[in-house]
Amino acid sequence: MSKINWDEYKKYKHQTPNVEKLDNFEVLLEFLRSFYNKHSPFEVFDILDEDELGKMMLDKRDISKPEDLEDYLYKKLSR
């Protein structure tokens, strides 16, 4: 299981163009996709659920299972 490297996340956040349009959770999702090459909502959920800050971000959005994250991502893409 991967652990979130928050130092790399901070670098990613400051170096990525157009990141100001996203909230921190969306930036984190993009970071997990690009830095860890994780595209499956199930893998991403597992990583977030194992991390204290990641878990807080999930809880804030009432995401309690991988299917909820999948729905969240679908809604974001369909905007």
pLDDT score at 77: 66
pLDDT score at 76: 76
- Residue extents of the structural domains in the chain: 6-77
pLDDT score at 5: 96
pLDDT score at 17: 81
pTM: predicted TM-score of the whole model, two decimal places: 0.87
Q: Tell me: the pLDDT tens digits for 15-68? A: 988 777 888 999 999 999 999 999 899 999 999 999 999 999 999 999 999 999
pLDDT score at 19: 73
Burial of 2 (0-12, 13-18, 19+ CB in 10 A): middle
Instruction: Say how far apart CA 77 and CA 31 lie, in whole Å.
Output: 16
